[in-house]
Structure 1
Amino acid sequence: MVRTTVSPPWTYTIQLPQDPRAPGVARATLRNVLRVHGMSELTENAELLASELVTNAYQHSSGPFSLRMRDAGRSRIRLGVRDTEPHIPAPFRWSAHAPQELAERGRGLYLVTLYAESWGAYPMRGGLPGQGGKLLWVECTAEPDCQRRDLS
C-alpha cells in the first residue's frame, strides 16, 4: 500500500516595521516558505508581487505593515499586505489601465495586476481611532497571468 501525504493548508504572517529593509526581509521570508513547502516554482513570480505590495506599503503608509502568505491550493499562493493607509490605490479600485508613458508612479502596482492570477483590495475598519487601513491581496502561480493573455 502506498500512502500519499497531503500537506494541510498553511498560513504565515510576518509583521514588518517602517524600514527600507522590509521589502528584502519579506522576499527572503517568502522564498524560504515556498522552498520548505515544495513550491519553489512560484518563487520568481511571488517575489515580484510581494516586493511591489510591500514596497507600496512602506512608501505610502506611516506605520507597520504585514505580509500574509497562504497556500491557495493547486500550486498557488495568496499574498496579502495590510497597512495603516486607508486609501486603496488606483489599479486595485478598478480594472487595470496602463500608467501614462512618462508617469513616475503607478507602474509597480500596474505590474502586479498583470502578473497576478487574481487580485483585489479591502478596506480594513478598526474599532479605535487610527486603526484600520487596507489589505491588498494577490494570488499567483508559476506562470504569470500576463504570459497567458495576449497583450498586443
Structure 2
Amino acid sequence: MPALARHWIVDLLRLTGRARLAERAELCASEVVTNAVLHTESPVITVEVSLSTEGVSVCVHDGAPGRAPQVRPAWADPTSLTRTGRGLGLVGAYADLFGATCDETSKTVWFVLFDDPTAG
C-alpha cells in the first residue's frame, strides 16, 4: 500500500504541474502511510490529497484511535540499534507543516507542502 500511495501522489503532482513537489511528497507519503500500515491494525487506511494554489496537503486516515504518533528526531544516534521510529522526524524535516489528530474512532496524520517554501 505505501508504494501505491506514493506513486499515485507523485503522478497526480506531475499531471497537475507540481512536479517540483513530487520528491518531498513521495518521501513524506511513504513514511506516513507506512506508519499506518505497520503501527495500526486498521482494516481501512485512506489517503486524501488536496491541491490548492498554495501547494498540496495529504491526509492519511486510519481506524486506530488513540494518542498521536510519537515524533523522534530523523537524525538520531547512528549507533542506536533501533532502525525504526524516525519516519515522522523525516516528515517534519521535509514537510512545510505536519501534524496528527485523534478522536474516539480514528487517527489522521497529515502534511502540507507549499509551492513557495517561504509560505506558511
For normalisation by structure 2, the TM-score amounts to: 0.82
Provide closer, same or farther for how the CA distance between residues 49 and 143 of structure 1 changes in structure 2, counting only shifts above 3 A: farther
Q: Residue 71 of structure 1 corresponds to which residue in structure 2?
A: 51
Tell me which amino acid in the other structure corresponds to 1:121.
Answer: A
Question: Matches of 1:98 and 1:29 in 2, distance apart?
Answer: 25
Q: Residue 9 of structure 1 corresponds to which residue in structure 2?
A: none
Q: Residue 139 of structure 1 corresponds to which residue in structure 2?
A: 112
Q: Residue 89 of structure 1 corresponds to which residue in structure 2?
A: 69
Compare CA radii of gyration and give the structure with the larger one.
1
Q: 1:64: how far off?
A: 1.6
Q: Residue 28 of structure 2 corresponds to which residue in structure 1?
A: 49
Where structure 2 has 5 or more consecutive residues not aligned to the other structure, the ranges are none
Aligned CA RMSD, in angstroms, stands at 2.2
Moved over 3 A (4+): 96-100, 141-145
Q: 1:29: how far off?
A: 0.8
Question: Matches of 2:58 and 2:69 in 1, distance apart?
Answer: 17
Following superposition of structure 1 onto structure 2, how do residues 1-152 of structure 1 map, counting pairs within 5 Å?
22-62=1-41, 63-74=43-54, 76-86=55-65, 87-91=67-71, 97=73, 100-101=76-77, 102=80, 103-125=82-104, 132-141=105-114
Question: Matches of 2:16 and 2:116 in 1, distance apart?
Answer: 18
CA contact (8 A) 1:115 1:144 kept: no
CA contact (8 A) 1:26 1:51 kept: yes
State percent identity of aligned pairs.
33
Provide closer, same or farther for how the CA distance between residues 28 and 100 of structure 1 changes in structure 2, counting only shifts above 3 A: closer
Provide closer, same or farther for how the CA distance between residues 65 and 142 of structure 1 changes in structure 2, counting only shifts above 3 A: same
Question: Matches of 1:143 and 1:98 in 2, distance apart?
Answer: 24
CA contact (8 A) 2:58 2:111 kept: yes
Q: 1:109: how far off?
A: 1.1
CA contact (8 A) 1:70 1:78 kept: yes
Where structure 1 has 5 or more consecutive residues not aligned to the other structure, the ranges are 1-21, 126-131, 146-152
Tell me which amino acid in the other structure corresponds to 2:8.
Answer: T
Question: Matches of 1:104 and 1:122 in 2, distance apart?
Answer: 25
Question: Matches of 1:98 and 1:133 in 2, distance apart?
Answer: 25
